[in-house]
Structure 1
Amino acid sequence: MKRLERIFVSANGWALILILGAMPLIVGANISLRYLTGHSLSWADEAARYLMIWMTFIGAGLALRMGAHVAITNLQDSLPGPGQKILRGALVVGLLIFFGFMVSVGIEYAQRMQFQLTPALRVPFLYVYAAMPVGFLLLIVHLLLIAPQFVRAGTYKGAAPVQGDAAMREGANG
């Protein structure tokens, strides 16, 4: 199971790397062509925009796994140990319900847009809107993988502390 999780996280990370790499290549090629030849790629801005949308939704799960989303922990910190676990468990259940709802909404949006084409690329908007259900489905998988450790200990699986992170927290608290 650990091996499958590592493969899943690695594949998710590589998808982000490929998307993030494609965006500056497309925009850079467009800028170079515009200044060198006087002509630009009519689809470059649109492609970069849609890649940014996909990158955001695909990357949200990895950010969740690392604890990189905004969190306000005042209530949790004020509760005793068992209360903290109950609150974190309720949070996981609430997030799973919300993510599941958003998968369903995303599928509905994508289906509505399947026949409309993007202006420059001329591909169905279905492929753009599919980022939403795919991203929220990835969020569900990531959350399920980190939930046991998060509920028990309040930590995230695979969350490696950033160098100087502990010193920053101590400075903020002190």
Structure 2
Amino acid sequence: MLEKTDRMLTALNRWSLIGLLTAMVCIIFANVALRYLTNHSIIWAEEVARYLMVWMTFLGAGLALRRGGHVAITALPDALGPRAAMVLRGVVALLLLGFAALMVKIGVDYMGRMGRQLTPATRISFWWIYLAMPMGFALFAAHLALALVSYLRSGSFEPAERSAAPRGLA
């Protein structure tokens, strides 16, 4: 059951990032083309592209964790024995989960405070923009929790099965 949940979460996360990146590329391409062909640009394009990038950053953090994309210093765990290294990885995992939980709380608080303001060009609530932070950190914690046993044993996060990956991305 956990493996199926892991595969589904990873696939859903991956496809959401693909969708956000596709939208951002299309908006930027259309804006640049219009600017050079008609001497007019889309008023909201830069703003929307920026907010899509914010969403991609937060939603992609957990997936980057699963793929080993974050910076890691392994000198200390490599110098320790297997049991001590596992304990150290457990402490690191607890700190990461605690940090993610704290950031979810801070993100929700920030959404509440800033949600009454509207974005300049699109006039949507900043609540939707700041929602990326708690969602991204909750997703990060979920990815960490699903890969925790593998991380504690080997020190690496095994990505979910390749069958969950879109073609050409595994």
Task: Indicate whether the TM-score tops 0.5.
Answer: yes
**Corresponding residue for 1:54?**
55
Number of residue equivalences: 160
**Corresponding residue for 1:121?**
122
**Higher Rg:** 1
**Corresponding residue for 1:37?**
38
Counterpart Cα distance in 1 of 2:84 and 2:5: 32
Task: List runs of 5+ in structure 2 lacking aligned partners.
Answer: 162-170
**Corresponding residue for 1:139?**
140
Q: Which aligned pairs between 1:69-148 and structure 2 lie closer than 5 A?
A: 69-148=70-149
Task: Give 3-state SS (helix, strand or coil) of 1:118's partner.
Answer: coil
Contact kept, 8 Å, 2:7 with 2:160, in 1: the verdict is: no
- The CA RMSD measured in Å over matched residues stands at 1.2
Q: Deviations over 1:74-129 (max 9, x none)?
A: 11111011000000011111111111000000111111111100000100001111
TM-score (norm 1): 0.89
Counterpart Cα distance in 2 of 1:22 and 1:119: 20
Counterpart Cα distance in 1 of 2:24 and 2:43: 15
Higher relative contact order (CA 8 A, sep 6+): 2
TM-score (norm 2): 0.91
Identical columns (%): 49
Q: 1:141 to 1:159 in 2, by over 3 A?
A: closer
Contact kept, 8 Å, 1:67 with 1:159, in 2: the verdict is: no
| Structure 1 position 159, deviation (Å) | 7.2
| Structure 1 position 155, deviation (Å) | 2.3
Counterpart Cα distance in 1 of 2:124 and 2:160: 38
Task: List runs of 5+ in structure 1 lacking aligned partners.
Answer: 161-174
Task: Give 3-state SS (helix, strand or coil) of 1:52's partner.
Answer: helix
| Structure 1 position 36, deviation (Å) | 1.6
Q: Deviations over 1:63-83 (max 9, x none)?
A: 011111000011111101100
Q: Deviations over 1:10-42 (max 9, x none)?
A: 000000000111111001101111122221110
Runs of 4+ in 1 over 6 A off after TM superposition: none
